[in-house]
Amino acid sequence: MNEIPKTRWEQAETGGYAERFARLIDEGADVVGEARLADVLVRRGATILDAGAGMGRIGAELQRRGHTVVAAEKDPVLVADAATRYPDLPMVETDLLALTPALLRERDLPDAFDLVVLVGNVIVLAAPDTEQRLLLGLRDLLAPEGRILVGFHPVNGHGAARAYPFEEFAADAEAVGLVVQHRFGTYELHPPAEDYVVAVLSRR
């Protein structure tokens, strides 16, 4: 049960993600849409976990907006990228399945969050059959009124990603005591769509 399996991300050829975002950032492209939505979901100066943070683009933007942010990422190359690009972003190098309140306290970091940001296809790139376990672990990191913002392609996403129909995702969330409060099709709150899921989860 406590075994930590390899994520789909680790099992795949994933080179190019950090370079693509680095190029977009350097070109001045808008790469923080997820952070804008996350920002309106919380009070000013909230405590936010960027779960599966990659090279840190969303966590760093939320930090810039005045929130207390912790990033967690398993891929050591991306952790190193984040340290170079966003040296002030607190980063825990870990699998999300091993991210516990105790581990965060050990690092003198917050152990309960107003918002967990799980965007950029993290959930469809987690290890096979770990979605419920991952959501349960994140639920246990929520402050009393805390919520989880999730974003993923349910079909035709990243090459290594699984297909994850919204209904299956919602059932997995329900199974671990979470409920879908809102569902949209984009980070600009377009109606639910076939090709992208933006969901806000809360404790049931």
Task: Tell me which residues touch ligand SAM (CB under 6 A).
Answer: 7, 9, 17, 52-54, 57-58, 73-75, 78, 95-97, 119-122, 125-126, 134, 158
Query: What is the nearest approach in angstroms of ligand SAM to the Cβ of residue 23?
Result: 13
Which residue number, 91 or 204, has a Cβ lying nearer to ligand SAM?
Answer: 91
Q: List alpha helices for 27-151, DSSP H.
A: 33-40, 57-64, 76-85, 101-106, 131-139
Cα separation, 117 vs 94, in Å, equals: 16
Strand ranges in 39-171 using DSSP code E only, listed in sequence order? 47-51, 68-73, 91-93, 113-118, 142-152
Nearest to 118 by CA among 168, 67, 49, 172: 49
Q: Which residue is nearest to ligand SAM (CB)?
A: 120
Query: What is the nearest approach in angstroms of ligand SAM to the Cβ of residue 139?
Result: 15
CB of 87 closer than 8 Å to CB of 63? no
Cα separation, 99 vs 175, in Å, equals: 20
Nearest to 54 by CA among 101, 7, 98, 100: 7
Nearest to 141 by CA among 65, 70, 39: 70
Which residue number, 38 or 122, has a Cβ lying nearer to ligand SAM?
Answer: 122
Query: What is the nearest approach in angstroms of ligand SAM to the Cβ of residue 165?
Result: 19
Which residue number, 114 or 162, has a Cβ lying nearer to ligand SAM?
Answer: 162
Which residue number, 9 or 164, has a Cβ lying nearer to ligand SAM?
Answer: 9
Query: What is the nearest approach in angstroms of ligand SAM to the Cβ of residue 10?
Result: 7
Query: What is the nearest approach in angstroms of ligand SAM to the Cβ of residue 83?
Result: 14
Which residue number, 67 or 74, has a Cβ lying nearer to ligand SAM?
Answer: 74
